[in-house]
């Protein structure tokens, strides 16, 4: 039978204002987390993965209200914690704890590790010092250290030992939920395995729900029951772990999985290369936010272009939308001895150089697409940037730009947010899971 969620995150947002001038006038917003939704059931481990800057750590801080969300709901055991006052938050944090990537930064170097681990007990009203010490000494032994380590200081421990101490502190209040933000990424592989094994054993013993945040997909596959993939502040796919790794539905998920190192030389050529850079979260792309880099972006219906060819055309078109200085191209061609002066550079040479820079063939396989591209490039080289933009935008705008995809359940059980997903049934909100 499906369990009721312990944690239900609905349309969670965290935006940061961009200010300007002495009066700090707001001129924009960084959309670090922009409407994510997921459930976590008791005893479950949900992984959140994605590239650096995708919003994983901000999501962790927001769902525990270490930072106040901009919008959305975080329902914990039936109550929306975004409505809590200070007293309510204190009660909530007894049941929900955080593990940080760098435990050293969260330890007070003037306090012994035992005092640091015992501090939450004192904050939550346990005044008996001897009882606090007994609890902490027992917990230090449970995480593989010694009771005598109580009186030692953080600088006396290795990175792996500090993470064990951080785990003890997260568990000292016997919480129901632990949010672990990159808890093993700074550790050696052998130490990672020890910490992961320890976390799994303690999770089984205490019945913990864990939100496990990481960029290391090999670790996530080992640890998590389900995985949510984030890109530019949004969840683009969520699925059972083995379903996600065996049959990823979103192109971004496929790209991430292909980047996992493999000792098999025959598989090294399978890595998916993404074009361009991650867009700014202050000005995310319209439609599917991944379309500016996606290797499987959908071409307009009227053109019959191979995917690789279409990706290069789209890269060129998006660059023209941002603005291209043709004079710079002419100056470059002069330096390449194409002509003696910029004004002497033939227009055809400028068009060829633009195609070469973006790996666009001299002639596209689809005749109508080639005529449109040539017309747009001719307008650009003639100095009419706006006409070039209109020509190319009208013909080469993809559905991936126009329409924002929603999470949809596929036949495999995965829930991607992608226009390529077919024969699917929309879900809203995400379903409960075993």
Per the domain annotation, does 296 fall within a domain? Answer: no
Domain count, the chain: 2
Instruction: Give the per-residue pLDDT at 434.
Output: 41
The answer on 316 and 253 residing in a single domain is: no
The answer on 205 and 66 residing in a single domain is: yes
The answer on 321 and 250 residing in a single domain is: no
Taking 50 as the pLDDT cut, the residues of the chain under it are 1, 423-434
Can you give the length of the chain in residues?
Answer: 434
The answer on 184 and 73 residing in a single domain is: yes
pTM, two decimals, is 0.88
The answer on 151 and 66 residing in a single domain is: yes
Report the alpha-carbon distance of residue 370 to residue 380 in Å, rounded: 15
Per the domain annotation, does 105 fall within a domain? Answer: yes
Per the domain annotation, does 419 fall within a domain? Answer: no
Q: Are 415 and 427 in contact (CB under 8 A)?
A: yes
Report the alpha-carbon distance of residue 305 to residue 255 in Å, rounded: 22
Looking up residue 243, the CATH number of its domain turns out to be 3.40.50.300
The answer on 242 and 371 residing in a single domain is: no
The answer on 129 and 63 residing in a single domain is: yes
Per the domain annotation, does 12 fall within a domain? Answer: yes
In this structure, the number of other CB atoms found within 10 A of the CB of residue 240 comes to: 17
Q: Which of 258, 287, 318 is the last residue of a domain?
A: 258
The answer on 90 and 173 residing in a single domain is: yes
The answer on 311 and 246 residing in a single domain is: no
Q: Are 279 and 285 in contact (CB under 8 A)?
A: yes
Per the domain annotation, does 281 fall within a domain? Answer: no
The answer on 180 and 49 residing in a single domain is: yes
Q: Which residue range is the domain that position 133 belongs to?
A: 7-258
Instruction: Give the per-residue pLDDT at 53.
Output: 87
The answer on 323 and 239 residing in a single domain is: no
CA distances 376 to 95, 303, 314, 394, 426, Å, are 60, 16, 13, 11, 38
pLDDT per residue as tens digits for the range 39-62: 999 999 999 999 988 999 999 999
Per the domain annotation, does 412 fall within a domain? Answer: no
Per the domain annotation, does 413 fall within a domain? Answer: no
Per the domain annotation, does 137 fall within a domain? Answer: yes
Instruction: Give the per-residue pLDDT at 52.
Output: 87
The answer on 244 and 323 residing in a single domain is: no
pLDDT per residue as tens digits for the range 332-363: 999 998 889 999 999 999 999 999 999 999 99
What beta strand segments (E) does 23-175 contain? 25-40, 45-49, 71-76, 79-80, 96-99
H or E element in which residue 229 lies: strand 226-231
């Amino acid at each position: 039978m499906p369990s009721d969620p312990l944690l239900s995150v609905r349309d969670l947002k965290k935006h940061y204002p961009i200010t300007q001038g002495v009066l700090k006038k707001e001129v924009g917003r960084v959309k670090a987390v922009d409407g994510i939704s997921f459930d976590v059931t008791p005893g479950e481990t949900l992984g959140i993965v994605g590239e650096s800057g995708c919003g994983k750590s901000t999501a962790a801080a927001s769902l525990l209200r270490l930072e106040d969300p901009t919008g959305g709901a975080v329902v914990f055991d039936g109550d929306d914690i975004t409505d809590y006052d200070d007293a309510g938050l204190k009660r909530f944090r007894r049941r929900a704890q955080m593990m940080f990537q760098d435990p050293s930064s969260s330890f007070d170097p003037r306090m012994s590790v035992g005092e640091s681990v015992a501090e939450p007990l004192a904050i939550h009203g346990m005044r008996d010092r001897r009882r606090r010490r007994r609890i902490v000494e027992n917990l230090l032994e449970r995480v593989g250290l010694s009771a005598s380590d109580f009186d030692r200081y953080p600088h006396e421990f290795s990175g792996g030992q500090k993470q064990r101490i951080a785990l003890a502190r997260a568990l000292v209040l016997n919480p129901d939920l632990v949010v672990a933000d990159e808890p093993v990424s700074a550790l050696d592989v052998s130490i990672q395995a020890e910490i992961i094994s320890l976390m799994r054993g303690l999770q089984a013993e205490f019945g913990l729900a864990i939100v496990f945040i990481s960029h290391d997909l090999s670790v996530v596959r080992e640890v998590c029951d389900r995985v949510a993939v984030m890109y530019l502040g949004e969840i683009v796919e969520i699925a059972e772990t083995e379903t996600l790794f065996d049959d990823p539905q979103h192109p971004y998920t496929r790209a991430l999985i292909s980047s996992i190192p493999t000792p098999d030389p025959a598989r090294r050529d399978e890595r998916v290369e993404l074009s361009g850079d991650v867009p700014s979260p202050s000005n995310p792309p319209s439609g599917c936010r991944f379309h500016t880099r996606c290797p499987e972006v959908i071409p307009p219906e009227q053109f019959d272009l191979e995917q690789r060819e279409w990706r290069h055309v789209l890269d060129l078109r998006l660059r023209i939308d941002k603005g291209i200085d043709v004079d710079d191209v002419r100056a470059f061609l002069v330096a390449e001895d194409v002509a003696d002066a910029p004004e002497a550079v033939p227009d055809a040479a400028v068009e060829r150089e633009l195609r070469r820079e973006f790996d666009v063939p001299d002639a596209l396989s689809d005749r109508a697409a080639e005529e449109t591209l040539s017309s747009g490039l001719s307008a650009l080289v003639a100095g009419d940037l706006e006409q070039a933009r209109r020509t190319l935008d009208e013909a080469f705008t993809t559905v991936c730009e126009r329409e924002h995809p929603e999470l949809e359940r596929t036949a495999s059980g995965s829930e991607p947010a992608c226009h390529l997903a077919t024969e699917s049934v929309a879900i809203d909100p995400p379903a409960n899971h075993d």
